[in-house]
Amino acid sequence: MNKPYDIIVIGAGIVGISIAKALQQTGRTVTLIDRKGVALEASKSNAGAFAFADIVPLATPGIMRQAPKWLLDPLGPLSIPPAYALTILPWMMRFWRASWTDRYEASLQTQAQLMTFSQEALERQVTLVNGERFMQREGQLQLYEGLKQFNASQAVWKTRSEHGIDFQLLHCAASIAEIQPGLDARFTHAGYTPKWLNTCDPEQWAHHIADHFMASGGALKLANIEAIFEHPDYVSLATQDGELRAKQVVVASGAWSHKLTKTLGDHIPLETERGYNTTLPAGAFDLKTHLTFGAHGFVVTKIAGGIRVGGAVELGGLNLAPNYARAQMLLDKAAQFLPTLNTQNGEQWMGFRPSMPDSLPVIGSASKAPNVFYAFGHGHLGLTQAAGTAELVTALANGTETAISIDAFSPNRF
């Protein structure tokens, strides 16, 4: 009864599932544990984008000058509910420090390296699980309303160019329409990234990897892990139904991960980006490529034959009631930007994205428990970086060298 499991992965979102499969591929006997089941939180209904081109951290130099507007505009692209403002203040101070030029440049370089590695890892994962049918390789348009907005974006495109990201800049509505017809005439400029890809459905993609994992001998258990304890020969997990033991444990519980790290003495500044979207049924719009409306903080993507309109960031924690007016606001804007969009019969959703102040995930060992590994804090890039994170954590658990340095992802960096 008390024989330890080989390795337990806590969290059956896309990051946890990817780690479980990668560990299994190296011969490990893996048990995946989640309190609800596979892909029932942030991995269920996100935008489905593998955003490898988005290498610029959220905390950019000068961004804190916009903070007063966030508090005053509850429907803005980045907002803080007044009821949560005091709670998030310590995190915001770290976010401000991360926006200083030295920290920003370091985070940018690290993020770019992780993106390149994760893109390569995704292709390995797709091959491993025979998952090409879940991929949509249709590129992305980042859209701008006029020359002033387009010119303001040039520093970001220059940075992408320096990191080898393939793109084409478009300077008229006619060029944009060749890729995506039906946009409002206000969008006069764009950047097109042809190698951008999406999954046809993030929930289905996560389930496909989980099914592959279980068909290959993996196990899935439903349990609510309340605490983790390190022992000389094993790690114990406290649940309402008793104790579970394992030789090693991976914490990949998304926005809830810091609740478990605290039980090991690691107080990690993890916050929650609450993302909203609306999924419209098939036929709502003839979408040819992923659309990003950066100035408005949302995207339009093709999901399971329908259309998903969503994005924006609300830093509001885990407990406040959802503000679905944000989802409606994004849908209303999309209807202006895509005049033929049919906005009827949409389904609204809100998900919790686990966010660190410097936009980098936490990947590494617990400070006082060398057999516990952390893998969370990817913000809105969990789907994007899941395969790369899985390979890094697998190397950690197996005691081999990681393919890229993970120093910048240290749980103790703050």
pLDDT in tens, 227-267: 999 999 999 999 998 999 999 999 999 999 999 999 999 99
Other CB atoms within 10 A of residue 164 CB: 8
Q: Characterise 39 by phi-psi region: left (phi > 0), alpha (psi -120 to 50), beta (else).
A: left
For the cut 90, the answer to whether the pLDDT of residue 300 exceeds it is: yes
Q: What is the DSSP letter of 403?
A: S
Give pLDDT tens digits for 393-403: 999 999 999 99
Strands 219-222 and 49-50: unpaired
For the cut 80, the answer to whether the pLDDT of residue 2 exceeds it is: no
Average pLDDT in the chain: 96
Q: Which of 145, 156, 147, 146 is nearest to 58 (CA)?
A: 156
Instruction: Report the distance separating Cα 395 and Cα 300, nearest Å.
Output: 36
pTM beyond 0.95: the answer is yes
The pLDDT of residue 78:
83
Tell me the CA end-to-end span of the chain in Å, nearest whole number: 39
